[in-house]
Amino acid sequence: MITLDQKIAEFISQSLDFNGWPFGNLLLCAIALVLSLLLCGAIGLEREKRGRTAGLRTHLLVGVGSCIIMIISIYGFPAIFVDHRDVARLAAQVVAGVGFLGAGVIIYKNGGTRGLTTAGTIWISMAIGIACGSFNFILATIGTIIIMIVLVSFKKIESRINGKDPYISVIVESNKPALKDILDTAKKFDCSIHDLSIQTEESSETGLIEIIFRAKFENHSEKNVVEFIAALEDKLSAREIQLLNHKV
């Protein structure tokens, strides 16, 4: 099956072929590099605006680098030197290599995992770069549009879905086993703890920490939330417990 992308690539490569000099192929490679720069830059910019560790430059490097490797895989080993070549071999190595790079931005801290979405965008930037490098321009463009819709629009949908789960702030003395007490209490209420963060309380008092987390109940109800807060107050002897995004 011949795709529209292949027709476009064939037209460009043949239209600028002067006396055996393949200037069309050079133009085709330049278009692939510029397009990967723009498409992966759009994804990287979205990550940069959200303050993620892997931002604009990381996504640009991954996307353009993948594009270059794919072009080398196609043009870098002429048939005159290699009898049997596999143009997808280098691309397969890129997929595995970028997987390790994406894993590096995933952080497990304080009982929560962060960076999964950014790891996914790094991986998809690689895929877009490979698509550009293999001259599948339309596929790369449509893929980027879909990814941007997922990153921007689906974030709002995700927020609405998780909006019923209360974020709870607990201020407690740092020498108390607060985290263990929170997890034990949550277990009794069939509640799982997400997005947990711990920071030093900014106040005149010393030795206080603030623990913020999202409580996700198996059977969510206002009664469960109220009883869970009351149980935390009894268990923790906290200085202050408050709901940040929930009305009861």
Q: Encode pLDDT of 204-243 as tens digits.
A: 456 788 888 888 887 767 777 888 888 888 888 777 888 7
CB-facing half-sphere around the CA of 59: CA atoms within 13 A: 28
The answer to whether 66 and 36 are in contact (CB under 8 A) is yes
Q: Taking Cα atoms as reference points, which of 215, 196, 204, 214 lies closest to residue 239?
A: 204
CB-facing half-sphere around the CA of 221: CA atoms within 13 A: 6
Helix pair 116-133, 89-103: axis angle to 10 deg: 160
**H-state helical runs in the chain:** 4-15, 23-49, 56-75, 89-103, 116-133, 137-162, 178-188, 222-236
Domain positions in the chain are 4-161, 167-243
Torsion of CA 208, 180, 223, 156, to 10 degrees: 80
CATH class of 167-243: alpha beta
pTM over 0.75: no
Mean pLDDT across the stretch 167-176?
82
pLDDT at 247: 45
pLDDT digits (tens, 9 = 90+) for 137-152: 999 999 999 999 988 8
Helix pair 222-236, 178-188: axis angle to 10 deg: 140
Query: What is d(CA 214, CA 200) in angstroms, rounded to the nearest whole number?
Result: 18
For the ranges 46-55, 121-130, 195-204, the maximum mean pLDDT occurs at 121-130
C-alpha 35: how far from chain center? 21
